[in-house]
Structure 1
Amino acid sequence: MTQDLDNRRPLKVRDAAFARRMARSLAEAKVEPDVISATSVAFAVLGGALLMTAGALDNGLFRAVLFVLAALCIQARLLCNLLDGLVAVEHGRGGSAGPIWNELPDRIADVLLLAGAGYGVQSAGIAGGTAAGWIAAVLAVLTAYVRELGRGLGQPADFSGPMAKQQRMATLTAFCLISALEPLWRGHGAVLLCGLVVIAAGSLVTVIRRTGNLARGLRA
């Protein structure tokens, strides 16, 4: 990741003491930010696989454990996204291929987690789960596409919501944790499906909002 400050998502957690300490430790260990970005994809692969597996299980306890682990993978993915930027910018370890590693792993991770959740819903016996997962994934990628389209047209990066990356992953995490409790009311997959619908709807609103912002910026 290079020091592409114009395309840096504004995050308050970036100033948190724990994040600063972790970034410093990684920089002192000479861990490249691109490796941290790649690790975020590894967590997304694991999280997506856990979501797919959890949906097919009938064992309530084991299923709950998998959902909790998936939620942890989602948050670990976000932590990697935070740390790669801190190591690259604050510690000056960015490389020439940084812009690629800054964007491409994020898009891959979104698809793996959201599509994986969709397959998990489908394997729980709910029709339309796969479609819901892929629709959410495509719309998530579109939110980033509109932002990068704006930058290509000379406009500032637009990180507006309501369902930017952080909000998407927070929503998916919350619905994973609620899904872990589904056996209490004999549910099986409906909670995660609701989460995908919320993410898809919010992402669609985000795409429309960012497109409108871009159009206004170009007119100005």
Structure 2
Amino acid sequence: MTIYQLKPAFQNLLRPLCRALAHRGITANQVTVTALLLSLATGATIWLSGGFRWALALLPAILLARMALNAVDGMLAREHAMQSSMGAILNELGDVLSDTALYLPLAIVPGLNPALMTLIVVLAVISEMTGVLAVSIGAQRRYDGPMGKSDRAFAFGLLALLLAAGISVGPWLHLVLGGILLLLLLTVVNRARCALMEVKA
């Protein structure tokens, strides 16, 4: 199970906005770049603030906005004849760079283990690479969970919200990060396994 399975319902909510953007001549690639720039700016803000609570409070809203932009760029590409090779590259690179920009600065937040956060970011990149590699062996691009992009956004958005609200840090935080790390490992294995099963079938 993964939050990604809710994407069709989320897209339906955003479809009027998507049509409005297409009518105004906004392209899918422009939306993709906007999502990346928003992520870079937010990550830089968290880093430069030293992980202060006011900066962490921005993260949940930015993650939701990024998810919306990611859904919109896909709909623009598919439903308004904007698909391109450049768009496919921008989409995959944008996701990985955005994840890195948003989550790696959390390593400096007091109470968050820098080593665990770094490993989480590395495994997040590997999980997305595994999903893309499925295409190279003849399978579909894999989005299997349990810790896909949407799941990571939910987990870290909630975590940032709790920390911004002043929840005391402690051993529970290391357990949460360790759990996310294990779920990412499972996601890598799951995506590889599902891709191989698809090709075999």
TM range (shorter): 0.7 to 0.9
Shift of 1:156: 2.1
Q: Is 2:11 the counterpart of 1:12?
A: no
Q: Structure 1 residues 97, 192: closer, same or farther in 2, change over 3 A? A: farther
RMSD across aligned positions (CA): 2.4
| Equivalent in the alignment of 2:99 | 110
- Partners of 1:96 and 1:154 lie apart in 2 by 18
Q: Which amino acid aligns with 1:151?
A: V
Amino acid at match of 2:30: V
Task: For structure 2, list consecutive stretches of 5 or more residues without a partner in the other structure.
Answer: none
For residue 25 of structure 1, what is the aligned residue in structure 2? 20
Q: 1:156 aligns with which of 140, 143, 146?
A: 140
Report if aligned partners of 1:155, 1:214 keep a CA contact under 8 Å in 2: yes
The higher relative CO (CA closer than 8 Å, separation ≥ 6) is in 2
Q: Which amino acid aligns with 2:92?
A: E
TM-score, normalised to structure 1's length?
A: 0.79
Q: Given the alignment of the two structures, is residue 166 of structure 1 paired with residue 150 of structure 2, yes or no?
A: yes
Divergent runs of 4+, >4 A: 53-56, 188-195
Does the 8 Å contact 1:49/1:116 carry over to 2?
yes
Q: Which amino acid aligns with 1:214?
A: A
Q: Which residue of 2 aligns with 1:97?
A: 86
2:191 corresponds to 1:210: yes
Equivalent AA in structure 2 for residue 83 of structure 1: V
| Corresponding position of 2:182 | 201
Percent identity, aligned pairs only, is 26
Q: Distance in 1 between matches of 2:189 and 2:80?
A: 36
After superposition, the C-alpha distances for 1:92-129 in whole angstroms (9 at most, x for unaligned) are 223341111121100101111121112x32xx2x4x73
Aligned partner letter, 1:13 = A
Q: How many residues align?
A: 197
Q: Tell me which structure has the larger Cα radius of gyration.
A: 1
Q: TM-score, normalised by structure 2?
A: 0.85
Instruction: Report the AA paired with residue 15 of structure 2.
Output: R
Could you tell me how far apart the structure 2 residues matched to 1:27 and 1:192 are? 43
Question: Aligned with 2:25: secondary structure?
Answer: coil
**Matched residue SS, 1:206:** helix
Please report how far the alpha carbon of residue 143 of structure 1 lies from its aligned counterpart in structure 2 after TM superposition. Answer: 1.1
